[in-house]
Amino acid sequence: MNRDKNRDFKLSRRAGLLVTLLAMATGMSGAALASEREQYVQSVISLLRTHADTIRQLASQDFKYSRNLARHADALIHTFGLLGPMDWHAAEASFLHKKHGDSAHLQPADFDRLADQCQKSMRTLQTTSLQHVEHGGSAKPVLKALEDIQGKCTGCHDLLDGAAPDVWGKHGKK
């Protein structure tokens, strides 16, 4: 599985390099490239919000397709992965600081701690959603795991002083 992740990561880096080279070859301006990147990020953020909203809906009542709760939890995690691995997030944070002329308030150790906590919350969301689908019971652990993920994202983005997009909205809610 790690080999697949490494292969996917290498492919995504190559694709990014190819897009950059094509943009340079066709004379696309840096502003247009940045704008396309921002549009892509906003599209992924929209998907993340959709999955989060759907998880809340499915967790709040019994639907005919309740197994979709676990599927949307997995989809949220995979969608997050579309933004790149955590080292990409760190590089992007640095880029955003430079773009906005900010001094970095997010230290590497803080970023690593928050990233590890976020990954742990994602694994908890996967586990609790699957347990809820298979065994029933309260959906509170699923909703808590989702809130934890949103809180970790928001906490890290808040440290970037507005340079990073507001993924979840104030307090992790849309």
Mean pLDDT calculated for residue range 148-162: 79
pLDDT tens figures, 89-145:
666 666 666 666 655 566 677 777 777 888 899 999 999 999 988 888 889 999 999
Best mean pLDDT range from 48-57, 61-70, 83-92? 48-57
pLDDT tens figures, 4-29:
555 554 445 554 433 443 444 444 45
Residue type present at position 32 = A
16 alpha-carbon distance from chain centroid: 18
The answer to whether 107 and 159 are in contact (CB under 8 A) is no
Domains belonging to the chain, first-starting first, are: 44-172 (1.20.120)
First to last CA, the chain: 33
The answer to whether 126 and 136 are in contact (CB under 8 A) is no
93's CB contacts (< 8 A; 6+ apart) are: 104, 106, 111, 160, 163, 164
The answer to whether 163 and 148 are in contact (CB under 8 A) is no
